[in-house]
Structure formats: structure tokens, C-alpha cells
Amino acid sequence: PFLKLRAPGWILGPDSRKMSKRWGNIVTPDDIVPKFGADTLRVYEMFMGPFDREKVWSTDAVSGCKRFLGRFHDMVFSDKVVEEESLEALKLAHRLQDFVTKDIEQFQFNTAIARMMEFLNSFIPLSAYPRSCLKRAVQMVYPFAPHAAEEMWQELTGSCDSITYEPIPPIDSKYLVDDTAMYVIQ
């Protein structure tokens, strides 16, 4: 029963020592949440690295997670949201769901968040954002940033129904495979 149990890694203070009142290097959620928000704190803590390794706290890195959530929010509330689907957007959304689902099952939350950041970098340059693809992406963000995801979900669906009870659509494997591949020959 304990195959997936992992020894927790420490989150070290900004000075790379174990957080302690004695050294005065404790960073509390009460200091972070008012400035960055609860969702940003959650995303940062999961993005720091694997649970079984030590990690050094960096308040500067928290702002990177805030920018990530802000970019995601701006994408959902953009004027480029459309109903028509495109092949490129569908591929990006289905691959995101595939990667994030597998990462969550393996408790690799930091790589799941990294995949969402990669998705943003590939999706934002598209000329239009299909609503169905955005909904799929928001469902992937939900376990990490539930408050922001609820707001984005309500914008995409136009209703006050919670994303919590919305089933995640199945992945279509045809969007996971590329038709062509580039091989560099020297």
C-alpha cells in the first residue's frame, strides 16, 4: 500500500537553511497571499520541484507563477476566443491534457505546470482561441489554481455552474500524433 508514499523534502528558507523561528527565515502564507493570491502560492509550491527533494524558497520566483496565471487569464478573456476549432489548437489542447493527466497520476506536479507554461507559449500566438480548447486547458489548470479556474470557466461557459462537477472530455489519440516529422541529416 505504500508504493507511492514518498518522504517529503524540506522547503528551505531564502537563506538556504531550514526554515526556523530561531533563524528568522520563515515565509508564511499570511505574507504571500495578500500580495500574490492563494492560487499563485499553490502553483508556486507545486512548481518548486519534486516533493521528495529539498527546495529553496524564492519570493521572486512566486511572481513568475503570478505572471503565468495572469497570461492564462488574459488568454481566456481575450477577444480572440471563437467557436470554430482549428487543427493546431486541438492538437495543443489534447496534448496538454494527455501530458498533465499523466504527470498528475505520477505526482509530478512541477512538470505538469511546466507543460501548461509550454502550452501557453504555443497557444497564445494562434490567430484564434477555440472555446472548446480553452475549456479543456482550464480543466487542467483547475487542480493547481481552483479559484482562477472557476472564474475562467464561468467566462467560457457563460453560466455559474462549477467546474468541479464538469467531466473532463476524453482525449482523442489522433491529435497526439503528428503527420510529419523533421529529421536533420548531416
Query: pTM above 0.85?
Result: no
pLDDT of 5 above 60 = no
CA dihedral (14, 15, 20, 24) in degrees, to 10, reads -90
Give Cα separations from 17 to 13, 23, 26, 113, 164 (angstroms).
Answer: 6, 9, 10, 26, 38
Please give the Cα distance from 32 to 40 (Å, whole number).
Answer: 9
Quickly state the pLDDT bin for 6 (edges 50, 70, 90). Answer: low
Nearest 5°: the CA angle 101, 96, 137 is: 95
32: number of Cβ within 10 Å: 18
Higher pLDDT, 116 or 23: 116
Higher pLDDT, 124 or 18: 124
pLDDT of 12 above 90 = no
pLDDT of 67 above 80 = yes
Percent of the chain with pLDDT over 90: 63
Task: Report yes or no: 27 and 19 within 8 Å, Cβ to Cβ.
Answer: yes
pLDDT value, residue 121 = 95
pLDDT value, residue 55 = 77
pLDDT value, residue 111 = 94
Quickly state the pLDDT bin for 140 (edges 50, 70, 90). Answer: very high
Percent of the chain with pLDDT over 70: 94
Average pLDDT, the chain: 88
Please give the Cα distance from 141 to 177 (Å, whole number).
Answer: 23
Q: Is 120 exposed, middle or buried (0-12, 13-18, 19+ CB in 10 A)?
A: middle
